[in-house]
Amino acid sequence: MLPNSARTFVLRALLPMLLAGAAAAAPDPRIADLAAAQKQPLLDSLAQLVAIESGSRDLEGLEKLSNLIAAKFKALGGEVELIDPSAEAYRMEDTPEQLGRVVRATFKGTGQKKILLIAHMDTVYTQGMLARQPFRIDGDKAYGLGIADDKQGIAVILHIVSMLQQMKFKDYGTLTVLINGDEEISSPGARGLITRMGAEHDAVMSFEGAYVKDDKLSLATAGIASVTLNVTGKASHAGSAPERGVNALYELSHQILQMRDLSDPATGLKMNWTISKSGSNRNVIPASATAGADVRVLKVSDYDRIEQQVNERVKKQLIPEAKVELKFERRRPPLEATDASRALAAHAQQIYKDELGLPLGADDKAAGGGTDAAFAALKTKAPVIERFGLQGFGAHSADAEYVLVDSIAPRLYLGTRLIMDIALGKTGH
């Protein structure tokens, strides 16, 4: 006999199908029972995770949080490692010298399939901001800094693993959990590890949060890059001796104008100059000037094309005496939709519809910001899917970030069922 809370969840899930007369499968009672029972424990975990400030540059907070996460997965029987990714970091202009640690928890099973679950522990917030938005529950919303992006992802993974352990399900070969601490600064340290781990697994499930208004999985996201131009000239009096100077602003303007037409709407490639700065005084020929451009791509191959184009254009100078330096940084690759990802997403949608009576989208058109799932997909043909986390809203907002409490049981059910089906070879890949 299921407890009342579990029966309520099952009946609520079945009701839309019954009313529609759908000939659909009932939820697996073991998983439904556990998913309902895990609701409060997951909220308790969220309260603990949110209570530790963990901005991407807050090494003390990240160390404390990574220790807590490691202890939780170790208590579930995982082989847990704390990895410092700083040494192999891809250094960008804003990359700190020391980066937050990665928690890797490995669970060995008796089967063949290798499944990777990823999320991140760092947030965009700085120390002291938590006091203005501590963890709280208001109706169907649980609030807190970083709760939607992405501490809910950690909690969902943690309790999915707990459910699998309680059912004594070990038909996977390896279940690996990877939680990094540098996602919000473009994962300079963890990206290499995530890419290698993605290539070693048969499926990757990423637990960034889903949307409140449009609940859907994500199979594609845009890649993000940046272009920085630094021009060095020579200062001189703008009134009495401008000819003795080398005007860095003129050269910068020339470079921006000759690179203004590199966007390609047909392929979704976008390059837009967005920031610039030059000079110090009105009456001084500027000796330095800088500008930055935002780049978005839908295919990894477009990075090579746009980088080659800007490097060719920059050679054509207006003022030969000026020194022009260009830096192209690949902040994040795009996540490209594949047939394997579409097939696994369709299987997830079927579970959600047939067993829970809930709609679930699966968007294979690039939308939203960058994702660590894109690094996981770089070197693999296996399915990689984003947004298995709770429905939420207000990421990066500082005053309105929340997740929907009612999405906890359905998401736990979906994640657990899908892992089991992947392990048992029931997803068609």
22 pLDDT tier (thresholds 50, 70, 90): very low
Q: What is the pLDDT of residue 3?
A: 53
Please check the confidence at residue 10 and state whether its pLDDT lies above 90.
no
Nearest to 120 by CA among 171, 175, 190: 190
Q: What is the pLDDT of residue 368?
A: 61
The catalytically annotated residue of 33, 53, 150, 183 is 183
Q: What is the pLDDT of residue 258?
A: 98
Retrieve residue 33's tokens.
């029972």
Please check the confidence at residue 71 and state whether its pLDDT lies above 60.
yes
With residue 138 as reference, give the H or E element that holds it.
Answer: strand 136-138
318 pLDDT tier (thresholds 50, 70, 90): very high
Please check the confidence at residue 23 and state whether its pLDDT lies above 50.
no
Rounded Cα–Cα distance for residues 185 and 331 (Å): 9
Please report, for the chain, how many H helices and E strands are present, in that order: 11, 17
* Residue listed under structure tokens 């100078």: 317
If you average pLDDT over residues 403-425, what whole number do you get? Answer: 98
- Cis status of the peptide bond prior to 150, with omega within 30 of 0: yes
Surface-to-core class of residue 212, CB atoms within 10 Å of its CB (0-12 exposed, 13-18 middle, 19+ buried): middle
Surface-to-core class of residue 48, CB atoms within 10 Å of its CB (0-12 exposed, 13-18 middle, 19+ buried): middle
Q: What is the pLDDT of residue 284?
A: 98
Higher-confidence position of 368 and 170: 170
What is the chain's alpha carbon radius of gyration, rounded to the nearest angstrom?
25
Give tens-digit pLDDT for 87-96: 999 999 999 9
Rounded Cα–Cα distance for residues 173 and 216 (Å): 28
Please check the confidence at residue 144 and state whether its pLDDT lies above 60.
yes
Indicate if the alpha-carbon torsion angle 73, 78, 83, 85 is positive or negative: negative
What are the phi and psi torsion angles at 357 (to 5°)? 70, 25
- On average, the pLDDT of the chain sits at 94
Please check the confidence at residue 20 and state whether its pLDDT lies above 70.
no
Indicate if the alpha-carbon torsion angle 194, 195, 201, 203 is positive or negative: positive
The catalytically annotated residue of 58, 122, 184, 363 is 122
23-32, 170-179, 278-287, range with the lowest pLDDT: 23-32
Indicate if the alpha-carbon torsion angle 150, 163, 43, 5 is positive or negative: positive
User: Which residues make Cβ contacts (< 8 Å) with residue 200, sequence separation at least 6?
Assistant: 114, 116
If you average pLDDT over residues 297-321, what whole number do you get? Answer: 96
133 pLDDT tier (thresholds 50, 70, 90): confident
> Collapsing DSSP states into helix, strand and coil, what is residue 101?
coil
**Is-catalytic flag, 183?**
yes
Q: What is the pLDDT of residue 156?
A: 98
Rounded Cα–Cα distance for residues 150 and 66 (Å): 14
Give tens-digit pLDDT for 335-385: 999 999 999 999 999 999 999 999 999 999 987 668 999 999 999 999 999
If you average pLDDT over residues 92-120, what whole number do you get? Answer: 97
Q: Could you write out the DSSP letters of every residue in 298-315? A: SSHHHHHHHHHHHHHHTT
Rounded Cα–Cα distance for residues 427 and 203 (Å): 11
With residue 179 as reference, give the H or E element that holds it.
Answer: strand 174-180
pTM, two decimal places:
0.90
Nearest to 210 by CA among 347, 392, 353, 369: 392
User: Which residues make Cβ contacts (< 8 Å) with residue 361, sequence separation at least 6?
Assistant: 214, 215, 216, 217, 349
Give tens-digit pLDDT for 371-392: 999 999 999 999 999 999 999 9
Give tens-digit pLDDT for 197-255: 999 999 999 999 999 999 999 999 999 999 999 999 999 999 999 999 999 999 999 99
Contact status, residue 355 vs residue 413, Cβ threshold 8 Å: yes
**Is-catalytic flag, 355?**
no
Contact status, residue 216 vs residue 337, Cβ threshold 8 Å: no
Q: What is the pLDDT of residue 18?
A: 39
Q: What is the pLDDT of residue 429?
A: 63
Provide the H-helix boundaries in 201-282. Answer: 248-258
Contact status, residue 139 vs residue 79, Cβ threshold 8 Å: no
Q: Which domains does the chain have, with CATH numbers?
A: 4-221+335-423 (3.40.630.10), 223-332 (3.30.70.360)
Please check the confidence at residue 424 and state whether its pLDDT lies above 70.
yes
